Amino acid sequence: MTADERAPLADGEQVRAALRPDLRGRTAYGAPQLDVAVQLNTNESSYPVPPEVVADVLDRLGRDLVGLNRYPDREFTGLRQALVDYLALQSGVSLRPEQLWAGNGSNEVLQHLVQAFGGQGRTALGFTPAYSMHPIIVETLGTRWVDGQRDAQTFDLEIGSAVEQARAADPDLVFLCSPNNPTGTALPFESIEAVLAAAPRAIVVVDEAYAEFARPGTPSALELLEDHERLVVTRTMSKAFTLAGARLGYLAAHPALVDALRLVRLPYHLSTPTQTIAEVSLAHAEQLLSTVEAIKGQRDRLVTELAAMGLRPVPSDANFVLFGGLADAPTTWQALLEAGILVRDVGIPHHLRVTAGTPEEATAFLTAMAELLPEHLQSQPHRSTAPRQGATT
């Protein structure tokens, strides 16, 4: 039978009818991936992996690929130790290998946590605006999501409000971001410990995907692990390590919690090449992280120059800046795109988010913004964290 003789495909109605009812009508997560000159929308590093690191990865892979007939190390033993060594240097916190867990990006690590500690009849709490994958992972795994709120004017998570919301929700899981995405602000220890106390049976997850970019003096929740059995700190190698394409995320927690994740992970979930790339990259941590200070410099430049334009940037501990003061965020997003610059519309009225890239990329963005103003300025400044329908953060 030729292609022309085949019966036409049905319109998918039977598939849609078979889909889980709670998934019907949902849209898939996904930031735009567009081929433009300046891509500042997904908080990737604008700096390529150094040639020396590439060479070492290729050398190690050349030796490892011969053994791909065998399954990878299920316990990623070498990677665990490499992460322990890195965190000791980066944060000064001494951990044991049995406290570390890794996955294909921090989203898989978060998924493991919800699989193990969420589920039917259980509740997870997060504070909006925050990382939009938290509720997506929670709800698609059959867990009830409670959309807690931050201050509508400052985007801060005030301790008293967080405690009140945690007590009301009585959750099984709590998600905190520090630094927060998309606002860029870090949480003090007092807030984390207050939530732990207010949700006495919850696993409290502190998402530190952007920890390496925090301003001086900003502590890491890793320092709290020894005193809190229910605390989890998640991180990623996608941002500061310039390895978004490698897909390696990890967490640190109590050994008993890490052991529980073995119940839900798929067998041999971390491939040999993934483990190799991560281990070699951690051995080159100093070199890969050498761009962090340059990125922080451009981040602070964005805050200063956007404020000088009459916009309202939020001081950031991450590698991006959320800024408000726009008359219509989608209109400004489109105008920037037409100028060859891709930023992120996070769904907060009058706000956009821009990644801190190279000096040249920052200049291109700031020049384009200056040319768009004052026509795109908001005449009546007002902050709101209520997301537009269909938008994602």
- Pair (272, 125) in one structural domain: yes
Residue 8: DSSP 8-state: P
Q: In sequence order, which residues have a C-beta less than 8 Å from that of residue 282 and are 6 or more positions away?
A: 79, 82, 83, 85, 86
Confidence class for position 389, pLDDT limits 50, 70, 90: very low
Instruction: Give the per-residue pLDDT at 387.
Output: 56
- Pair (208, 262) in one structural domain: yes
- Pair (205, 310) in one structural domain: no
Q: Is residue 44 in a domain?
A: yes
Instruction: Give the per-residue pLDDT at 10.
Output: 79
Name the domain boundary from 283, 304, 328: 283
Q: Is residue 367 in a domain?
A: yes
- Buried/exposed 167-179: b ≥16 CB within 10 Å, e otherwise: eebebbbbbbbbb
pTM, 2 dp: 0.93
For 114-170, write each residue's pLDDT tens digit.
999 999 999 999 999 999 999 999 999 999 999 999 998 889 999 999 999 999 999
Instruction: Give the per-residue pLDDT at 390.
Output: 41
Q: In sequence order, which residues have a C-beta less than 8 Å from that of residue 244 and are 6 or more positions away?
A: 42, 44, 45, 238
CA distance 83 to 281: 11
Nearest to 74 by CA among 236, 241, 261: 261
Residue 1 has pLDDT above 80, yes or no: no
- Pair (121, 146) in one structural domain: yes
- Pair (275, 320) in one structural domain: no
For 11-70, write each residue's pLDDT tens digit.
899 999 999 999 999 988 878 889 999 999 999 999 999 999 999 999 999 999 999 999
For 229-260, write each residue's pLDDT tens digit.
999 999 999 999 999 999 999 999 999 999 99
| Mean pLDDT, residues 96-123 | 98
- Pair (107, 214) in one structural domain: yes
Question: Contact at 8 Å (CB) between 161 and 138?
Answer: no
| pLDDT > 90: percent of the chain | 90
- Pair (267, 363) in one structural domain: no
Confidence class for position 388, pLDDT limits 50, 70, 90: very low
Q: Which domain holds residue 242?
A: 51-283
For 345-384, write each residue's pLDDT tens digit.
999 999 999 999 999 999 999 999 999 999 999 986 554 5
Neighbours of 74 (CB within 10 A): 12
Domain count, the chain: 2
Q: What is the CATH number of the domain that holds 172?
A: 3.40.640.10
| Mean pLDDT, residues 78-97 | 97
